[in-house]
């Protein structure tokens, strides 16, 4: 997904009670935006890299 949709959808999922969310993003701004959303929700972010995309695994503490 392109900016700002990954962060917007992550925020919505966390607000709706998700405890773990995987976000696939190719946007260069995604790491910064997803980290900010995760921090606001007191969640951790793990990044899985492959050839084309980054998968962000966001887990609530």
For the chain, the distance separating the N- and C-terminal CA atoms, rounded to the nearest angstrom, is 25
Q: Is the pLDDT of residue 59 over 70?
A: yes
| CA neighbor of 37 nearest in space, from 3, 52, 51 | 3
CATH architecture, domain 5-60? 2-Layer Sandwich (3.30)
Categorize the per-residue pLDDT at 1 as very low, low, confident or very high, splitting at 50, 70 and 90. Answer: low
* Whole-structure pTM value: 0.88
**Tally of residues, the chain:** 61
Between CA 4 and CA 42 the distance in angstroms is 20
Give the pLDDT confidence of 17-51 residue by residue, as tens digits: 999 999 999 888 999 999 999 999 999 999 999 88
Alpha helices in the chain (DSSP H): 5-15, 30-40
């Amino acid at each position: 997904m392109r900016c700002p949709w990954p962060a917007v959808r992550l925020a919505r999922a966390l607000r709706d009670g998700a405890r773990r969310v995987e976000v696939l993003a190719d946007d260069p701004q995604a790491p910064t935006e997803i980290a900010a959303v995760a921090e606001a929700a007191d969640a951790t972010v793990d990044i899985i890299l492959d050839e084309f995309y980054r998968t962000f695994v966001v887990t609530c503490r």
